[in-house]
Amino acid sequence: MSVQGIKRDLYLKSKFGTIKNADSIYKRIENEGRLINIYFQFNKIKIIPNSFLSHKLLAYAFKKKKQPQVLELLFYQYFIEGSDLSNLDALIQISKQTNIHDEKIKNYLISNQDNENLIREQEQAKNMGIKGVPCFIFNKEFVVSGAQTKESFIKIIHSLSPYE
C-alpha cells in the first residue's frame, strides 16, 4: 500500500467485490459494537491508512511505557473519528494526547530507525497468515482473522482445551 494509504471505496471494492458486500459486513460489526457501547463510525473513514507509521508510534510508545494508551487512542481516532492515520500530523497529535510527545518524535517517525525490526515483524505476521485486523492467535499456532462472534471464540477455546 502507498505511504498515503488508499481511498476507502477503492479498498472496499478490491477486498469485498462491492461496497454493498462491505456494508453488510461492517453493519454486523457496528451492531456487535453497540452491544458493548462501542459506536463505530465507519462512514467517517475516507482513507484506509498505511499503518507503518502507526506501528512506529507504538514502538516509540513502548519505550515510554505508554503503548496501551497510544493503541487505544489510535483505535478511537480511526474507528470513531475517522482520522487518517497515515497522516504524520495526526500521529503527532496522538503523541501529544498520550503524553509521549517530545522533540525527537517527528524525526523518529520519519527516520529509518527501527524500520528493519518493524518490517521483520510484519513479515513474521504475514508468514503466520495474518493479513489484517482483527486477528487472534491461539497457542502461538492457530490464526483466526476477522470479527468473530462470542460463540465462535468459545468453540475455538474449547477445541484447544486439553481437558475436552
What percent of the chain lies above the pLDDT cut of 90?
A: 65
pTM of structure = 0.82
Q: Could you tell me if 89 and 157 lie in one domain?
A: no
Q: How many CB atoms lie within 10 A of CB 93?
A: 15
Q: Based on the domain organization, do 155 and 122 belong to the same domain? A: no
pLDDT digits (tens, 9 = 90+) for 40-56: 999 999 999 999 999 99
Domain holding 26: CATH number? Answer: 3.40.30.10
Instruction: Cell numbers for 7, please give them.
Output: 481511498
Q: What is the pLDDT of residue 9?
A: 94
**What is the residue range of 153's domain?**
129-164
Overall domain count for the chain: 2
Shared-domain flag, residues 136 and 90:
no
Residue 69 shares a structural domain with residue 13: yes
Residues 115 and 65 in one domain: yes
Domain shared by 77 and 89, yes or no: yes
In this structure, the answer to whether residues 122 and 136 fall within a common structural domain is no
Verify that 76 and 154 share a domain, yes or no: no
Is residue 1 a part of any domain in this protein?
A: no
In a domain, 149, yes or no: yes
Let me know if residue 26 belongs to a domain. yes
Give yes or no: residues 55 and 111 share one domain: yes
Same domain, 136 and 97: no
Amino acid found at 154: I
Q: What is the pLDDT of residues 85-138, one digit of tens each?
A: 999 999 999 999 999 999 999 999 999 999 999 999 989 888 887 877 778 888
Same domain for 85 and 154, yes or no, is no
